[in-house]
């Protein structure tokens, strides 16, 4: 067997930099993949490339029809590589992000959430998706739950190592607790609440994504449903029920209130209840004589 190819110095240093900053494994893989793709495009090590090369690479990616989120993910990786690993503090600000069109998130009604969850055949996957909706979790957060994270005495769930490696506490509804207890009596999971094929590892997020696609198709829903759709629906339903938007911000783990505020654009019942200035006017419209 041939010897493994030695790791380049820039790659080793970048891995060390990401580890020191406690970037998640998924983020590290994404950044390394992006910088490797950049390097292969030019056929040389990325530390020998500069700002004009980055710009040419971005133009190429756009010409290939890359999505704006994917392009911006590559921008994040290159900004990290040049700004942190290569210590070129002046470069990151000159590697521009793409201005992404702001689209409103797709939201399920309460009835659609029930229909969707009932279309998931696997008990473990159905409970994981129900938990994601009930607590507003990201897919990575749902699969990372451990049995010990359920605090029934305080009626809260502990979400550990969320986005940005931040922990947070979310509410544990009585209805969700009953579902989790029934599931635990049947499956006896430990330590992971939703174990994978091997009990010592959690279920893979791709299992949840695949279940979402299958349930959407099985139920004939016209909306595209993902785990994040359930999270969007959680936030919107809370807003429509009168929950303060700052509380929703904390529950979702958003750093900026502006990120949470976009749900005001899709909370239809809240919009419908909003009083127009016209309601305060003594105005009647009569047909002309």
Active site (catalytic) residues: 138, 163, 228, 231, 254, 263
Q: What is the largest CA-CA distance in the chain?
A: 98
* First-to-final CA distance of the chain: 98
- With CA atoms as reference, report the closest residue to 96 among 78, 123, 118: 78
| Residue whose entry in the numeric block shows the structure tokens 């409970």 | 127
- DSSP class per residue in 205-225: HHHHHHHHHHHHHHHT-SS--
Instruction: State the CB neighbour count (10 A cutoff) for residue 26.
Output: 10
| Residue whose entry in the numeric block shows the structure tokens 């893979």 | 204
- With CA atoms as reference, report the closest residue to 159 among 174, 171, 149, 172: 149
Residue 157 is classified by DSSP as: E
Sheet of 156-159: strands edge to edge?
Answer: 150-151, 156-159, 168-171
* Calpha distance 144→135 (Å, rounded): 14
β-pair partners for 259: none
- With CA atoms as reference, report the closest residue to 221 among 92, 113, 100: 113
Instruction: State the CB neighbour count (10 A cutoff) for residue 125.
Output: 20
150-151 vs 156-159, strand pairing mode? antiparallel
Residue 198 is classified by DSSP as: S
Contacts of 261 (CB under 8 A, 6+ apart): 245
């Amino acid at each position: 067997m041939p010897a493994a190819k030695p790791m380049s110095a820039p790659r080793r240093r970048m891995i060390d930099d990401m580890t020191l900053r406690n970037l998640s494994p998924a983020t590290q893989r994404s950044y390394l993949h992006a910088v490797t793709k950049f390097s292969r495009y030019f056929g040389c090590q990325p530390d020998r490339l500069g700002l004009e090369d980055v710009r040419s690479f971005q133009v190429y990616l756009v010409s290939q029809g890359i999505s704006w989120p994917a392009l911006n993910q590559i921008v994040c990786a290159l900004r990290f590589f040049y700004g942190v690993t290569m210590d070129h503090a002046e470069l990151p600000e000159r590697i521009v992000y793409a201005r992404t069109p702001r689209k409103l998130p797709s939201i399920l009604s309460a009835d659609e959430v029930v229909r969707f969850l009932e279309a998931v055949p696997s008990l473990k996957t159905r409970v994981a998706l129900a938990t994601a909706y009930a607590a507003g979790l990201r897919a990575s957060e749902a699969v990372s739950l451990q049995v010990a994270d359920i605090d029934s005495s305080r009626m809260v769930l502990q979400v550990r190592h969320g986005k940005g490696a931040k922990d947070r506490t979310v509410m544990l509804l009585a209805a969700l607790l009953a579902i989790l207890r029934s599931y635990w009596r049947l499956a006896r999971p430990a330590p992971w609440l939703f174990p994978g094929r091997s009990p010592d590892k959690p279920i893979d997020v791709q299992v949840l994504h695949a279940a979402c696609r299958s349930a959407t198709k099985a139920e004939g829903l016209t909306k595209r449903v993902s785990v994040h759709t359930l999270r969007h629906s959680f936030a919107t339903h809370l807003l429509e029920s009168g929950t303060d938007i700052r509380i929703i911000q904390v529950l979702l783990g958003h750093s900026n209130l502006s990120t949470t505020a976009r749900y005001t654009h899709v909370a239809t019942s809240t919009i419908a209840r909003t009083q127009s200035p016209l309601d305060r006017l003594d105005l009647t419209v009569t047909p002309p004589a």
